[in-house]
Chain A
Amino acid sequence: MKNLIIATSLLALGTLGAVSPALVHEADCPYCKLKLVQNTNDKDNEVVVRFGNKKIEYRCIYCVFADQKKLTGDLIVYAPSEAAGKPVLVRRTGGNWTAPEGTVFLNAFRRHQECAGLSRTFSSKSAFDRYVAANNVANAKALTLKEMLAEVAKAN
């Protein structure tokens, strides 16, 4: 075994490139199972849900709404907005969802590989419009919270 180990240890050198220190939380989304997209200096991407002593991270706001039945009790969703470091706080209290006045949602992805960029939350319609224009999002519609929840429910 020892010799075999030595031989195989040489191989490990070749696999080091596949391992990366996690400067940020590199996990998979509990819903779509794809990797979380990390925050950057000028754009937040990770959607954080807090309830009780739990802190769960999702890839997009769609994934949170689609997975909400698994989450117990009252929720606070820290949804990335148009401004880094200034998430929109979406809450579920007693089963009812609320968001700050003026909040709108983008939900324009076709495949989950795109969900982090195309399922997002904005503090205002004007912020939504700027994001859609800057990213050339086709067929974008600014959804209210109620409309967003209805779209997610319809798709599941």
Chain B
Amino acid sequence: MSPTDQELWSATVAGDATAFAVLFDRYARAVYNHAFKLTGSWSLAEDVTQSAFLVAWRRRADARLVDGSALPWLLVVTANTARTESRSARRWFALLRRLPAERGTDTDLSDEVAARVDDEQRMRTILAAVRRLPRAEREAIALCVWSGVSYADAAAVLGISETGLRSRVSRARARLARQLSDDTTEDR
């Protein structure tokens, strides 16, 4: 049976890098995708992921596991890392396609690259709207709506009430709906 997050984190806090590596394996994909949603760049998301886990290691004693899961706290660390290391919630972009090493010329990989570029364009459009929200609301949307963390877990790790968090998400949705409506009107 695989060790629980709590067991792994206890070992991590005691300085066990191997246990932390297991947590990395477990959550790297989730952190990577969360970082992408915050930055709009797949390549930057890699950098943020790398940094977020390093920050998480350094702050391991401060970790706050929620219902035995390290993921909500890791995603909060990721958001802070994206904001800090990615130069404070600034808009990032991929100037050109990132071409992984040792790529062949087969169609599947070309499609993959093209799809990632499409992802970035789409995400940048979304971030352009979301960026107009207050930071707390942006984080609430990213954590609860985009990355699927439950309201209870997100509230616990953010240190606010679940009601407060729901209010943030609700306000954010309302603002975004208004923005979209205004933008549509302007486009007419």
A complexed with B: no
Binding site for B on A (CB under 8 A): none
